[in-house]
Structure 1
Amino acid sequence: MEMNGTHIVSAESMLAVWNEWEIRMLVLTSLALQVFLLFFAGIRKRNVSAVLSLLLWLAYLLADSIAIYALGYLSQTRVPKGVDPESFKRTHRIQAFWAPFLLLHLGGQDTITAFSTEDNELWKRHLLSLLTQVALAMYVFTKSHPGAGILAPAVFMFLSGIVKYGERTWALKCASMDNLRSGMVTTPDPGPNYAKFMEEYRFTREAGLQAEIVIEQERRAEAAAVTVGVAEESVPYTTVITDASRFFVIFKRLFVNLILSFLERTRSQATFLRLTPEQAYKIIEIELSLMYDTLHSKAAVIHTWYGRLFRCLTLLSTSTACLLFNVHHKGKHQSYNSIDVCITNILFGGALCLEVYAIGMMLISYWTYAALQSCNFRFLSNMIFRSIQYFRPESRAKWSNLMAQHNLISFCLLDKPIMLTKVLSVLGLKARWDSWMYIRHIDVSHELKILVFRELKDKTVSIVDAESYRKFSNHRGQWALQCKGYYKELGWSVEVEFDESILLWHIATDLCFHSDDDNDAAKIAQYVEISRAISNYMLFLLVARPFMLTAGIGQIRFGDTCAEAKNFFERAEMARPDAGAAARMVLDVNAEIAPRDVKGDRSKSALFDACRLAKSLLELQPHKRWRVIRVVWVEMLCYAANKCRSNFHAKQLSGGGELLTVVWFLMAHLGVGEQYRIEAGHARAKLIVEKN
């Protein structure tokens, strides 16, 4: 019985300690989460780590939940059993002072307002939460009957907390798609007065006068025509940032499906056709970084005149509250628990450090530099630029600069039906397991970027009319095969559905790679590397990002192809997985007759159709073969980038970015794409009257 009594006493004492420390742990945890979010949230636009994404997601959700729970906890004023009422009141009084700090935490950090783009659409829910949590915090504080020493600093802290929470809600509203679209819609343009002009024309004719209408289109200059033969030039980093900020104002319309005109095309081409590939990509990276800031941070609010005013206000208000609290309670600490006073000062210190750090980040941003440049504040802009050069050097990528890789033959050789995979299939987690096990990431090579830029630039310079721009954006290998002179033999492989074309060329690329003995030859090694990188990347999109491609049955076709490949490899009883041996086995199959004629079309497998394509490619000389494969893959990549819906491009910005999005923006800047819907300006009609 004594042991049981000891256990009971011990449990009661532990419970009492926990009850005493619970609210303290909650507010300190809330502060710790804010520190984590401030320092690490911005990294995700340059990082594809699933672990980092998971930790940020948990921190993002827990930050609000813990702050709201802590506010609810503080609203309890019942004196616990065995606790001195006067002592409890003093403790509750200073702990209730933590309520405005929790509001400050609910306001979040500048680096993250929305974890995903969908969170922006919930801004009305956050507005309701703002009203209810502010009311609750004020209720908690006033219920504690604060003394004069706490009331004054609490007023300033409430001001900071409400402003920060309001900032977050306003930023969410500004980043919602409806608000973005409405803010970018151009002023309604009725055009020239057609009715009035035609009325004058009719009156002239009725008066018996000879009238003729002469139409003069608005003058336009094609950038391609004026930039042919102009050498590429390297521009200073300052110009890169300025151009990126200038173009961002225009090209962010792409993310909300708004159209562009030939004037935007001409101005963009005039810049991009003269840039080196490295600096062209750098402009696009900065633009996409600015778009990430718009969608996922407070940038749209804090980089305005009132946003900067609010930032100064919250810093001044928090500093004043800290000073008042410590001055008024310097000689009265004995009236409050010293631990609670220490925690209060930790909260003050944390709030001030976070605020100062956030202001520093705001100052050394592209937004601030562009604003100072536009206002001709040379001295300040030069200071900001030197800071940007140090903290955000031109050489550092503004996105992950990675492309995912997935290989069908390797997957089919390694994926075995073991007990674990069967259980995961039942739980619906097999796809995530496959993604973790069989998908890797590689750097986007400098050579690949240059190839894509040069191919797009060559097409842009050769295009002379608007219709050709549209035709090019709809080609997914046809143009490349026609230019190389192999459309008659290989055209069938790019006229099928796009997902089938991806599978056909992916498998054929692998079969050609494993059958060639001279892939390491210096003149074709680069072609092979680039072709395989794009091939594996496009298969990754087909399997793991099907929403970024055109609608189709890509995942069904991939599954059927894998099933046929696994059955084929199992029959061979290979001692160990060997992609080279497996590829040669596939090529050994007699594929004279189309598989569909033999098997029917119930199974959508593309394995042996790809074998037929590979055999046709192997008839070419290695150098020619890999040039064809390379340009076909580049054209497929550009087609996929252009056809992907803009909201899915926006969605990927928070996951390290996608090569597909970078190519999409590059195409838009070079004038290629379906977003250019205004191909002529206002016509200037003249009524010429001839007197009889």
Structure 2
Amino acid sequence: MEMGMVARWKLRWQTWDLRVVILVSLGLQILLIFVAPLRKRVSRAWITMPIWSAYLLADVMANFAVGLTSNSQGMKEKGKTMSIQCRHRSGPFADPTLLAFWAPFLLLHLGGPDTITAFSLADNELWLRHLLGLGFQCCAVGYAFIQSYPNHKFWIPTLLIFLVGVIKYSERTRALYLASSRIFQDSLLEDPDPGPNYAKFMDEYTSKNNAKLPTSIQMIPEPSKRNKTGTDEAEEGLSDLEVVQAAHKYYLTFRGLIADLIFSSAQRNESRDYFLKQTARDAFKIVEVELNFFYEILYTKAKVMQGKYLGYPLRVLSFILTCAALVLFYSIEKKKFHKFDIVVSYILLVGAIALDLIASLMILYSDWIAIALTKSEPPNWFIEKLPNWFIEILQCLLNVKRQRWPENPKPKWFSPRKIMQIVRLRWSESLSQYNLINYCLHPRMGWWEKTIGFFGLTIILDGIKYVNTEDFTSHLRDLIFKELKMKSDLADDLQKAKEIFSARGDWILKHEGHINLLDWINKIEFDESLILWHIATELCYYTDHSTDEKNSGNSYDDNTKLNRELSKVLSDYMLYLLIMQSPMLSSIAGIGKMRYRDTCSEVKKFFRGRKILKEDVNFHKIFSSSKCFSCYFSKYCFNEEKGQDKKLQEACESILKVNTEVSPVTVKGDRSKSVLFDACRLVKELQKLKWKQLWKIISKVWVELMSYAAGHCRVNAHMAQLSKGGQLLTLVWLLMAHLGLGDQFQIHEGHARAKLIVSK
């Protein structure tokens, strides 16, 4: 009986397998075209994981369906007995005509939607695998078509869909190819430059000397094209369209950053002068749009679509072919086919047309089209051929001058206005927060912690448990831009710019006259200074009682309170990058993880000794209690206790009470890399200042530490974050490049212009 049930289920699956798989494949295409763009706007696992799953499953489903189609077609050629058996098993699939008609749709699905070609940068390097896949899948689809050809009623619409599938799959393969590191770099390289003809010049010089003519060489300086306007007042705010136009202009200039190319001083000066005139809002908006262009050429089909000759024309052609296939399929008599299979065929056809229409609308309302229609840059060949009156009509219909950034405050999460705001975001506009002392205050549950660590899940659970997010506010934006603008204004020459670029807190301390604090920057590694200043910021934050109303007075103004809050946000953000996003700081992190672990160990040991940290959870008492286990688990494991700020304040005050006259390394040696009490000594040095000056210095130090990390983060790490909601660190990196703060500018002058002067 059990064998009969298994046989029935097997028969059902063999009957419906291809139908289910091909519909699921279409559903995944619809899901990806709508959801994939969210990954550049939301830095949450709940959106990243489904996109990753759908991205992988879409290819698996399409490949699996192609295999099923070829297998079913092959089985039907194995003789009359097998044909009868197959007809019994596969029901409506006895006629191979529809199988051959469905097969090209799978090729089309393998081409994927326009909104995602690569999930990560590594996928771009696999373009050759996709090229081979294109060849193999075309052969498989062609095999299914040939097997059914003598009696194929739908051979014309099948051929049309096959052509569309080849176009789509070729677009995806070419997008991966163009975004691969080597090809992308090669595409940006200019023609080799041998320079002026030195040999000819020297031959002429030698001949003049041999003729005993008084000859000298005069160097004619290259005329400067720079218009020094950086010290002028900031211009009025740019319109949203002007922001997009400026972003595209500088994208074309600075896209070489992705390929580690160098830039000339003329390019630096032009960009620097422009950004020095901008407001903080406009400067960051330009950088946001520019990074959005980077994202689209690396992770979508944008670069293929913007091709000079084949982008838009091929898209129009594929849409026409799909519509023609639908018309031809509708006009052919289909009475002998199963009704459900006819419905599936129409779903595939309408779905293909709908996906094309949605993709076309996304293209029409994209920044690329706005740039092409306003002709701020050389437009696409296809658009260039359009008459001016038609372009003006398109500008009105597509509302290219529309507002692209809402000025209203952020509404609640699930409101329709919030959803619309997310759609209009260029990045997540949030900063993840991770705090060392808060982490150490949480009670750890002995064997439970060890079990989690054994399976390598500690970092994942810690990310869920201890990482919070803060919005990227206009106050933080203004602070960062003010500091970078001040440094850029002082960096007139490349040497000064490189000096500022290499500073990691020491430059601002010298500039502000706090030489006594330099030892906490210069004499230690970057990762040590980051953790040390993080703890110092936390200790100052929770022991600063001057923020209370009764103690504030006139000396503690709103600006000081703002610096205090921004310092903590940047402090927690930088520690999050060091611990949770270590690839971004891998080139400068050193032994940061080891130092962090040793510091956490000492903090916990100190808290246990002072009875601040609660003892480990006793599971025997939990299970024997009348209360449910989930309540205790929520309380102890996720620390949902009230009064957390009060507990943090108590912990920080107890740390600062320790006498630190003697250096910790003198007492403990240097085996342990903990910096807990070194941070205490820094705090006591900082507290010699007034609170107003203290928070001003700390906020500036954090901006410089972040700038140093941004400039020394690998470019691939910056680009990888674009598909994960983006990072503030990446915006700062690109903004620094535009302000001329970097080591990419290594071409000081153009060609020398030497002239032979023969004296009379």
Equivalent-residue separation in structure 1 for 2:721 and 2:745 (angstroms): 23
Aligned to 1:282: 285
Aligned to 1:103: 107
1:88 Cα deviation after fit: 5.8
- 1:534–1:462 Cα change, 3 Å: same
Equivalent-residue separation in structure 2 for 1:404 and 1:86 (angstroms): 54
Structure 2 residue 318 is matched with structure 1 residue 314? yes
- 1:94–1:681 Cα change, 3 Å: same
Identity of aligned residues (%): 40
Equivalent-residue separation in structure 2 for 1:391 and 1:10 (angstroms): 59
Secondary structure of 1:75 counterpart: helix
Q: Of residues 567, 588, 605 in structure 1, which corresponds to 2:674?
A: 605
Q: Which runs of 5+ in 1 are unaligned?
A: none
Secondary structure of 1:442 counterpart: strand
Q: How does 1:265-280 map to 2 (within 5 A)?
A: 265-280=268-283
Aligned to 1:656: 725
Q: How does 1:22-37 map to 2 (within 5 A)?
A: 22-37=17-32
Secondary structure of 1:389 counterpart: coil
Aligned to 1:293: 296
Equivalent-residue separation in structure 2 for 1:385 and 1:188 (angstroms): 42
Aligned to 1:591: 660
Aligned to 1:362: 363
Equivalent-residue separation in structure 2 for 1:645 and 1:388 (angstroms): 36
Q: Of residues 356, 363, 383 in structure 1, which corresponds to 2:396?
A: 383
1:413 Cα deviation after fit: 0.8
Aligned to 1:179: 183
Whether contact under 8 Å (2:532, 2:675) holds in the other structure is yes
- 1:101–1:593 Cα change, 3 Å: same
Q: How does 1:332-347 map to 2 (within 5 A)?
A: 332-333=334-335, 335-347=336-348
Equivalent-residue separation in structure 2 for 1:459 and 1:441 (angstroms): 29
Deviation readout 1:268-318 (Å, 9 max, x if unpaired): 123212221111111111110111000000001012231111111111111
Whether contact under 8 Å (2:370, 2:400) holds in the other structure is no
Equivalent-residue separation in structure 1 for 2:59 and 2:326 (angstroms): 24
Equivalent-residue separation in structure 1 for 2:703 and 2:183 (angstroms): 35
Whether contact under 8 Å (1:285, 1:397) holds in the other structure is no
Whether contact under 8 Å (1:546, 1:554) holds in the other structure is no
Letter in 2 for 1:116: S
Aligned to 1:55: 50
Q: How does 1:255-274 map to 2 (within 5 A)?
A: 255-274=258-277
Whether contact under 8 Å (1:212, 1:688) holds in the other structure is yes
Whether contact under 8 Å (2:520, 2:529) holds in the other structure is no
Equivalent-residue separation in structure 1 for 2:475 and 2:544 (angstroms): 22
Secondary structure of 2:427 counterpart: coil
Aligned to 1:560: 598
Equivalent-residue separation in structure 2 for 1:421 and 1:140 (angstroms): 55
Equivalent-residue separation in structure 1 for 2:571 and 2:672 (angstroms): 23
Secondary structure of 1:226 counterpart: coil
Aligned to 1:155: 159
Q: How does 1:132-531 map to 2 (within 5 A)?
A: 132-145=136-149, 147-220=151-224, 225-304=228-307, 305-329=309-333, 332-333=334-335, 335-374=336-375, 375=379, 377=388, 379-380=392-393, 382-383=395-396, 386=399, 389=402, 396-414=424-442, 416-519=444-547, 521=556, 522-531=558-567
Deviation readout 1:374-433 (Å, 9 max, x if unpaired): 258551562365167367768843111111111010011115144332112111221121
1:221 Cα deviation after fit: 5.3
1:241 Cα deviation after fit: 1.1
1:350 Cα deviation after fit: 0.6
- Greater displacement, 202-211 / 237-246: 202-211
Q: Which runs of 5+ in 2 are unaligned?
A: 76-82, 409-423, 549-555, 615-643
1:16 Cα deviation after fit: 2.2
Deviation readout 1:492-525 (Å, 9 max, x if unpaired): 3344110011011100001111111023652411
- 1:86–1:653 Cα change, 3 Å: closer
1:190 Cα deviation after fit: 1.6
Whether contact under 8 Å (1:480, 1:631) holds in the other structure is yes
1:227 Cα deviation after fit: 2.5
Equivalent-residue separation in structure 1 for 2:430 and 2:710 (angstroms): 16
Whether contact under 8 Å (2:263, 2:745) holds in the other structure is yes
1:96 Cα deviation after fit: 2.7
Equivalent-residue separation in structure 2 for 1:247 and 1:229 (angstroms): 21
Q: Of residues 5, 12, 16 in structure 1, which corresponds to 2:7?
A: 12
Whether contact under 8 Å (2:37, 2:115) holds in the other structure is yes
Equivalent-residue separation in structure 1 for 2:359 and 2:226 (angstroms): 44
- Greater displacement, 70-79 / 523-532: 70-79
Aligned to 2:610: 572
TM-score normalised by L of structure 2: 0.87
1:52 Cα deviation after fit: 1.1
Secondary structure of 1:76 counterpart: helix
- Greater displacement, 151-160 / 181-190: 181-190
- 1:440–1:99 Cα change, 3 Å: same
Q: How many residues align?
A: 682
CA RMSD of aligned residues (A): 2.0
Deviation readout 1:129-163 (Å, 9 max, x if unpaired): 00001100110222134635211110101011111
Aligned to 2:638: none
TM-score normalised by L of structure 1: 0.95
Equivalent-residue separation in structure 1 for 2:144 and 2:465 (angstroms): 51
- 1:256–1:621 Cα change, 3 Å: same
Equivalent-residue separation in structure 2 for 1:284 and 1:380 (angstroms): 30
Secondary structure of 2:310 counterpart: helix
Secondary structure of 2:258 counterpart: helix
1:85 Cα deviation after fit: 9.4
Letter in 1 for 2:655: V
Whether contact under 8 Å (1:591, 1:612) holds in the other structure is yes
Equivalent-residue separation in structure 1 for 2:331 and 2:34 (angstroms): 31
Letter in 2 for 1:182: D
Aligned to 2:625: none
Whether contact under 8 Å (2:14, 2:90) holds in the other structure is no
Whether contact under 8 Å (1:402, 1:441) holds in the other structure is yes
Equivalent-residue separation in structure 1 for 2:349 and 2:403 (angstroms): 30
Equivalent-residue separation in structure 1 for 2:12 and 2:261 (angstroms): 60
Q: How does 1:91-130 map to 2 (within 5 A)?
A: 91-130=95-134
Secondary structure of 2:545 counterpart: coil
Letter in 2 for 1:625: L
Whether contact under 8 Å (1:493, 1:504) holds in the other structure is no
Aligned to 2:627: none
Letter in 2 for 1:71: V
Equivalent-residue separation in structure 2 for 1:283 and 1:338 (angstroms): 54
Equivalent-residue separation in structure 2 for 1:450 and 1:465 (angstroms): 25
- Greater displacement, 520-529 / 501-510: 520-529
Equivalent-residue separation in structure 2 for 1:102 and 1:639 (angstroms): 48
Secondary structure of 1:182 counterpart: helix
Whether contact under 8 Å (1:117, 1:651) holds in the other structure is yes
Whether contact under 8 Å (1:303, 1:368) holds in the other structure is no
Whether contact under 8 Å (1:372, 1:380) holds in the other structure is no
Whether contact under 8 Å (2:87, 2:94) holds in the other structure is no
Whether contact under 8 Å (1:285, 1:399) holds in the other structure is yes
Letter in 2 for 1:336: F
Letter in 1 for 2:738: H
Deviation readout 1:628-648 (Å, 9 max, x if unpaired): 101111111111111111111
Whether contact under 8 Å (1:513, 1:519) holds in the other structure is no
- 1:618–1:29 Cα change, 3 Å: same
